[in-house]
Amino acid sequence: MKQVPVGVSARHIHLSKEHIEILFGKDYELTVLKDLSQPGQYAANETVKVEGTKNCFEKVRILGPARGDSQLEISKTDSFYLGVKAPVRESGDIEDSPGIKVVGPAGEVEMEKGVIIAARHIHFHTSDAEKWGIQNKQLLKVKVNGERPLIFEDVVARISNDFALDMHIDTDEANAAGVKNGEMAEIID
């Protein structure tokens, strides 16, 4: 059985160093609220406001550390609420995605792009992938036996020595499956 823990990604934002400085002030450094399952990644204490065309979210959690490009990851439900037509994309693939206005305590940023719905994916440490014969970018079928059982198709395999085994789905997907953070899913194909 190829079992993988489920990590439910709530809406969050990654920010570039430049944007952190505009939003929070020169030389500002994010502070760690909680380490995440992927080594080196953390939820920051800091949040920002994001303003869509229809509604806004007052407190969107920042995930650190700073990245090259800012990226807001939301669910499709969030995209309807905000009024932003976010595409389903792999993290980092932000060309031609919509932007959004971000507001922090020290300033505002008009992101020109970077609003996406993250494509469901599994992080594999290289050793897990080798053990199970899984290739990078392979599309997997994963069964989730939550309160509302279902099988996710086209789950993207992402393999690295820096990753810990974890399947990332968003809140729509978690709620559709009735599954919670830390519960197990099974790769069936």
Q: Given the rule CB under 8 A, which residues bind its own copies?
A: 75-77, 88, 119-120, 147-154, 170-173, 175-178
Q: How far is the CB of 73 from its own copies (least distance, A)?
A: 14
Cα distances (Å, whole numbers) of residue 71 to 1, 76, 95, 117, 125: 34, 15, 11, 10, 24
What is the distance between the alpha carbons of residues 115 and 140, in angstroms, rounded to a whole number?
25
- Cβ closest to its own copies, residue 8 vs residue 15: 8
- Cβ closest to its own copies, residue 81 vs residue 132: 81
Q: Which residues contact 74 (CB under 8 A, 6 or more apart)?
A: 11, 82, 84, 86, 115, 116, 117, 170
Q: How far is the CB of 184 from its own copies (least distance, A)?
A: 16
Q: How far is the CB of 166 from its own copies (least distance, A)?
A: 18
- 160 phi, psi to nearest 5 deg: -160, 155
- Cβ closest to its own copies, residue 93 vs residue 153: 153
- Cβ closest to its own copies, residue 29 vs residue 147: 147
